[in-house]
Structures are given as structure tokens and as C-alpha cells.
Chains A and B, each alone.
Chain A
Amino acid sequence: MNILVLNCGSSSIKYQLLNIDNKTVLAKGIVEKVGLKGSFLKNENQNGDKVKLEGEVIDHQIGIEYILGVLISKEHGCLGSVKEIDAVGHRMVHGGERFQDSCLITEETIRDFKACIPLAPLHNPANLKGLLAMQHLLPDVPQVAVFDTAFHQTMPDYAYMYAIPYSLYKKYGIRRYGFHGWSHYYVARRACQILKMDMNNSKIITAHLGNGASITAILNGKSVDTSMGLTPVEGLIMGTRTGDMDLGVLTFIMEKEELNLQIANTLVNKHSGMLGITGVSSDMREIETAAETGNERAILGLKMYQYRVKKYIGAYAAAMGGVDLLIFTGGIGENDPVTREETCKGLEYMGIEFDPQKNAGVRSKEVLLSKESSKVKVMTIPTNEELIIVEHTHRIITG
């Protein structure tokens, strides 16, 4: 059975075609600059052959048409016809409280999803466009929506509520939802497989450290707390986002700098985080290079970043009454030994014995980073959200 996974952004469409029976990726790629000048599609087939197709891609529907066209083409394709696609799984960003699990796309789910648009006004409309386009192009193929927020729906109310007037929660659904859900879930499950641990009887902390970053407490296989909130600004320090901050700071800046709402939003989302502190870059590699040459702000930025992750590890260990397993994933978590090591420093008191030798030079690999004697295991696992989307899609259509 072949399942196509789609991830539609406002001007991009990422895709991956997987065969569920032998778990192989048949093709993957991206359409970029949808609706803009200079749009193109990049496809990579099973053998690693890459092709870049340039030309106008006016909207998501045409972008998806080209994706299907490439997949069935003689030159670069892997399918005889689009009939060989058995199902489509869509990555959806925000499912609010309505979507506790992945679901088959029907008229009713589309209507309910539309009601979630205000919760993620930038991402949800693009997700919806991709979904409707796919329905139009392959009307007989079942489609499944897999929500980024769904994994975190198991959080208890005292963890997800904000201490704002309750009426605002009722009126707008303002609460913590969390993101990167299936990434946290995948790495936790994968680590348990490798370590032969029972996920349903475990205390796991997963740190997804990428351009966006979040950290999750997983107790007995369920998310019980996560650092991102209603929007992805809360929690850890990120490339260009503040993470946790005194709300008074924002109103103070807005008044002093005479900022309107939209600009305040840009300030906390695009000018802040590591870029804002260091003035060097939002890219961890460049910041580390600058720190090595003695750049004081780069050094400060790194310390702040690591300190924030460490604080959350402590907090989530307290929330779960301990921790058995700590996992790093995401671009930084998978590729940056320095961040992993510094974050784990000084946590011996809680049973983390980090092994710098095992950690050194590890990039994009599944590796155990703690010492044999360590009570708490530490791992790095490359994430694979697409696999979870495929599994959910398969589960739902075979029902």
C-alpha cells in the first residue's frame, strides 16, 4: 500500500510517498514559492536521483498536480498511475480541542477544521488548501488529517490552562496546545524500542530542538506537559523567537517603541531568540563559531539557550516525579553535540551521567549518549514525523 504524505505551508508543499508494506520511501520532495515568482519543484527518488523542475506554480492545486505528475512520469517517477496511491495523509498544524486524534477527512471534519483557523491563522488555511486540492484531484482516494496538536491533547487541565479569565478560554479556546507532537511521540517510541523499555510504564522527556523548539514530558506514553502554548512562541529560546518571557516586557516595549500589534508579533517571532541576543545569526552553527572566537554575546546566547532547556528538564522531572529517559531531536538536537553536552552538565544529582565521548561528533544518528551506569538514559534520535502520519493514515483507512 502506497501512502502520500503532504505538508502544505503558505507557499510550500512538502511531500513524501511511502510504501507501508516494506516501509520504504519511494519519493520525496518539495514545491517552493507557490503563487510567487520563481517557483520550482524538487524531487528525489528512491535511488537518490534529484530533479528540479522550474516554472509557474500558481496555487496549491497546481503544485499538487505537478507532484502527482512527477510521481507518475517515466523520467523521474515511481508509479504507473495515480491509482497506485492508496491514501493521502495530511499534516495539519492546529486541531484545537476538537481533534484529539487523527481522522478521516469528511465534509464534517472539514467544517470543524475551518472553525480552528483562528487558532493558527498562518498555517491552517494553507493546510486546508492542500486538503481541498487533493480532494479535487483524487476524489476517490481516502484522505486522513493528522494534527500536530493532537498528541498533546492528553495534557491535564492544570498543565494546559493559562491563568487568565476563564471566560477567555471558553470564548476563544485560549489554552496551551503544544506543537511538534508527532516528533516527540516518534522519538520517544523509537528510543523505547531500541532500549527495550516499556513506553507505557516510563517517564520520558523529549527535547525537539530545531529552528522552532519545544520540550515535552511524556508519562506512560502520554504527553502530560509541553513547552509551546497557544502559539509556537512560548517555552524554549528559539532561533528567532523569545520563548518564555514576562508579558509585561512586551507591553512595555510596545509603549516605548510605539509598536502596533503586527509589529509586536514580528518582534517576538522574527527579531528575538538567538538572533536577537547574539546579533550573529539564528543558526546555532554560526553562533558556536562566533563563541569560539570570543564573541561575548554569542557566548551569552548559548548559555541562555542551554540554561532554558536545562530548567525545563528539571521542571518536567518534577512534574512526572522523575525521569527515565531524555531524548534530543530536531536539527540542533540531532546535530549539535555541544548543546546536548552543556544541557546535561550538572544533572548528575538527578541520575543523568552523560558520556561526552559517546556524544562527540554524533550527527543524525540513533545513539545512546549516557554512561552504562546512568540511571537516566540519554539518547539522540533523528525525528521522522512522516512515518507517524503514514501509520495513522493506514490505521484509519484500514479501520
Chain B
Amino acid sequence: MAEMIIEPIEKYGLSKKDRPKILFSKIGIVGCGSVGQGLAITASKHGIEVIFLELNAELIQHSLDEIKKQLDEEINHWGLTPSEKTAILSRIKGTVKYEDFSDCELVIEAIKSTTRESSLDVRKQVFKNIEKQVTRECIIATNSSTLVVTEMSSELEYNDRCVSLHISSTAPGATVVEVARGLHTSKESYDKVMKFVKLIDKIAIPVIESPGLISVRLFVVLLNEACEVLMEGVSSMECIDNTMRACFNMPLGPFEFADKVGLDKILRWMENLFGEFGISRYVASPMIKKLVRANRLGRATGIGFYTYDQNGKKVIESACCEE
């Protein structure tokens, strides 16, 4: 049999017109904690190459290991096949250099931060670092829900390319993404991001830039009220969660959800929201503050509102109801 010849395909087009490039064949992610990992997996599942930036080789390896763990978990629960896992992993790479973002069409900032002020400054710097390396067309996005993108992008040369792209980290299977447009965001950039969201098979929820968007803003108030109900002794934590699950068809009650998200993260959300709106309903319940101070952050630390065993399963007696 004749040997296979290999040639570039371009010269076989019917017409010589310029062909549109494949949109979002590669994206970048800054910070590969739980949010970044989720993003990387989602994008790669849809055939997109992902490069993520972490501070050092050790953290890169850690992120890759976590990603593998999550995929294995999916295989164990029948959601994925081993060959799909191999394909997904082959598209995800780590780096320590911003230079590696040069051919990305979208770079998303997903760093973990501690306080509002430092977080904003760090993120502003991240945006600047990204802009130095990418093309003019590249979209720069943040996954932050409580910091506004207009502020984060204020020091960029071209801030019309910045949007906020909030993919819920609380439910990896969630089908919606909140896409917020900043003051400077151009229609072109916004439309492009909407296409990206469609590409990863999610529904884009258009939002006008506002701290907390929809999901975070509504959830923190619910959690605060749940803490109030608990502190007033109206009912137990389990009963509150049970009621909310059953009556509103929620997969998790407010306390269970808070533990899953991480109480430190929730506290930061609330501080940001209060900083922005100055309204008392966003002031975190003392109960949340107490737990965070004791480093009882939820599932991640094995204890939060509830206590968790090594497999992350809730143990019946809870941290809060002991007294």
C-alpha cells in the first residue's frame, strides 16, 4: 500500500478567502485552586487547550494531582471513561511564566485571596501581567464575584476587553455562568465571552456589573438568616437544612452549602459586599466569624458548621449543635 502523504489543508479550500480561526482553542487560567481546577476541567472537556499559572513547580504538580483526583472520582461515579480522562489531561498544562499566555484568546484570573484590599491590588497586578503578554484581541476575565471588573481593570491599557465570568465553584455541574459587563467592556468582547460560555455548554446569565452578582448576593443573605434562626433557637442546624432542601428543592441546605464553599471564602464575600453597599444585611453573622477564627472552614478543614470524616462525608453530630 502506498505511503501516506501529509500536507497542510489550507491550500485545498474552494475559495481563497480568509478563514475564521477557531475561537478559544486555548485559554489561560491564573491560579489553579479549586475554582481554577474546575475551570480547567470544564474547558478541556470541551476540547479547549488550557494553560494555568501557579507560583511554583510544586503547586503546579499539586493542581495537576487534584485535577486527576477529580477526574478519577468522576470515573468511579460513572461520569467519565478512562480514555476521556487521558484526553482531558493531555490538554491541561501548568506554567510559572506569564509569557506562556501569549497565544491564549482568553485568560481568566481565579486566584485565592485573603483580605479585600490586598486581593484587589493583587488582582490588578495580575491583570497587568496578563496584558503585557497577550495579543490585543485576548479577553481578560476575572472569576471574582464580589470585586468589580471595572476597578480591577482600571490600570490596563485596553480595559474594553475585560469582563467578569463567574462560574459557580459550589456546584461543578451547574449549567449557568454569570457574565458581568464592566463600565468599559466593549460589546465585541462581551459577545465573544458569551460565545465561550456557549462553547463550554453553559448558559450565560447576563449581569450588569454589581458586587456579588446574583448567586453570591442572594446566598449570603440566606446564610445570615439561617444563622439568625439557629441562634434564636428556633430549630437545629440539621432541621433548618432539611427544611430548605425539602421545601425549595435545594441539593444542599444553607449550612451544608456554606461548608462546601468554605466559610473563609464566604466571609470574604460578605466583607466585600458590605464594603461596597454598606448595608447591615451583608455583615457576616458572628457565628460565621467565630468558626473562621477557629479555622473551622468547612469541608476543606474537616469541620465547619458540621464535622466531616476523611472521605468528606458529614458525621451526624455537628460542631454547632454540641452545646
Contact = CB atoms under 8 A, between A and B. Distances in A.
Interface of A: 33, 35-37, 40-42, 47-58, 62, 65-66, 68-70, 73, 82, 137, 240, 257-260, 262-264, 266-267, 270-271
Interface string B228-263: 000000000000000000000000000000000000
Interface string B1-24: 111111111101111000111100
Interface residues of B, number: 28
Interface stretch (B29-37, B78-86, B112-120, B188-196): B78-86
Q: Report whether over half of chain B's contact residues are helix, strand or loop; otherwise say mixed.
A: loop
B5 A51 contact: yes
B290 interface: no
Given A42-B4, A69-B12, 9 more contacts: A51-B5, A51-B7, A56-B9, A56-B22, A58-B21, A65-B13, A65-B15, A137-B14, A264-B78
Contacts of B15: 65
A52 B77 contact: no
A66 B78 contact: no
B7 A58 contact: no
Interface in B139-168: none
A83 B115 CA distance: 68
B49 interface: yes
The 5 A-B pairs of least Cβ separation, nearest first, read A55-B9, A69-B12, A53-B9, A267-B78, A36-B47
Nearest to B48: A37
B11 to A, nearest CB: 8
A257 B77 contact: yes
Nearest to B1: A48
A52 B6 CA distance: 5
B95 interface: no
Contact of B14 (A52, A53, A68): A68
Contacts of A58: 19-22
Nearest to B8: A55
Contact of B12 (A42, A73, A264, A267): A73
Given A49-B2, A52-B6, A56-B22, A271 B12 contact: no
Nearest to A56: B22
A284 to B, nearest CB: 17
A40 B9 contact: yes
14 contacts: A33-B47, A35-B22, A40-B9, A49-B5, A52-B6, A53-B6, A53-B9, A53-B12, A54-B6, A58-B21, A65-B15, A66-B12, A69-B14, A266-B80
Nearest to A50: B4
A270 B85 CA distance: 13
A70 B2 CA distance: 18
B133 interface: no
B2 A52 contact: no
A288 to B, nearest CB: 21
Interface string B210-231: 0000000000000000000000
Contacts of B186: none
Nearest to A69: B12
Contact of A66 (B5, B6, B13, B47): B13
